[in-house]
Amino acid sequence: MSYHPFGAPIKSTEVAFSSNSIGVESTVVPSRPRAVPMNSDNPGAAVRVASASVREPELAAAELARQLQHDHLGCVLFFCSVEFDLERLGPALQAEFPDTRVYGCTSAGEITEHGYGRGCISALGFDARYFAIDCALINELESFTLQDAQQVIDGLLTTCREAQLAPVKGNTFAITMLDGLSSREELVLATLNAALGTIPQFGGSAGDDERLADTHVFYDGQFHSAAATVMLVNTPLDFRVFSTHHMREQSEKLVVTRACSESRTVFELNAEPAADVYARTVGVPVEELDRRVFALQPLGVRVGGNYFVRSIQRVNADGSLTFYCAVETGIVMTAMSPGSLLDSVRAQIEASERVVGKPLVTLACDCFLRRLEAELTGQVDAVSDFLRRHKVVGFNTYGEQFNGMHINQTFTGVVIGQPEPST
């Protein structure tokens, strides 16, 4: 594990964050100092967004640099399709941003400034006058301990404090990105959450355009598998971290009677073959179970009074079901069905904008199964247009992360408010 700092001094303002599940929302506003005006010739440059669809890695990197480079660029965060030649893309990005820290991951679809994208790169550039950002690579997921997590977070916090942009409390959030096929999200996130304390955290699991073969995070000029990154972002700008989903619980209950938590595989539900029980519950023949059925009729687990989706990844030859999230023998799963996909996103974005004001940008981790649902139900253009109008940038994930939890079929992220006008 290693980490690299950057940052520059400026002042402090308020933040707010919330969690949302099945219409249950709680908002916490930490103690914070009142904002003071910031001096900036171009407030809109506090976060710049860019995208590139040209497939040649060197040309794509050059296009991102053309859109993002400026004198105060401190950090670049990107999300890219695995259709790019990753062995060439990494060096190309480092060549175009030689003095800038660059982090990112592969995706299962991109969200650009134009809405949903495919086979492209979406990126954000953070102005060092407004953001102190440090990042660590975790490359031993299976043996990651609380001591490791504390060491990582302490190092990242040191960078934030040295930058003197804003007090850590109430002005800092964490972004996590993990190999989406590692099956280690729960362990790493729970450990990091303990070390983060009250610092809100969100993120996404890297994808590979739904190939389910090879996913990567990007750190220090290279793409890494079986790894994770954690970014700590300290800013005087208002922000709100959130998570929402639109699935509603149904009456059918399925008890996991035999499972392997290590592989996230359920062999039996209600003491019968898992695929048979699930197929019967959703009214589809076993041989017709596919990602479309999984997207529209997932299962959920109730935790703390709220339901969290457990999405199915595949049906196996032995009739078992492999999931994207943690499963274990004894848990009770509930059949779920979709509500309004767009309404749930609109409610969270608009609630966030009421807290932070006019948004500078929203960085979002949107489950690839939500996008699939939008495509299957003819809503993709409407959702894409909404994301564009509300300045949402990010990627489609193999799972989302929120305050130490690994979850599925959610829209999770952070809305960042604009700098106050200078006086």
State how far the Cα of 118 lies from the Cα of 263, in Å rounded to an integer: 29
Q: Write the burial class of residue 280 (CB in 10 Å: 0-12 exposed, 13-18 middle, 19+ buried).
A: middle
Q: Tell me the whole-structure pTM to 2 decimals.
A: 0.86
137: which 2 tokens? 């690579």
Question: Are 254 and 299 spatial neighbours (Cβ–Cβ below 8 Å)?
Answer: yes
Radius of gyration of the chain measured on its C-alpha atoms: 21
HSE toward the beta carbon, residue 111, CA cutoff 13 A: 30
Strand order in the sheet with 47-52: 47-52, 121-127, 73-80, 101-106, 217-219, 222-224
State how far the Cα of 359 lies from the Cα of 418, in Å rounded to an integer: 6
Written as tens digits, the pLDDT of the chain (423 aa) is: 333 233 322 222 332 323 333 332 322 223 233 333 333 345 457 999 999 999 999 999 999 999 999 999 999 999 999 999 999 999 999 999 999 999 999 999 999 999 999 999 999 999 999 999 999 999 989 899 999 999 999 999 999 999 999 999 999 999 999 998 888 889 999 999 999 999 999 999 999 999 999 999 999 999 999 999 999 999 999 999 999 999 999 999 999 999 999 999 999 999 999 999 999 999 999 999 999 999 999 999 998 888 999 999 999 999 999 999 989 999 999 999 999 999 989 999 889 989 999 899 999 999 999 999 999 999 999 999 999 999 999 999 999 999 999 999 999 999 999 998 763
Task: Report residue 132: phi and psi, to 5°.
Answer: -105, 120
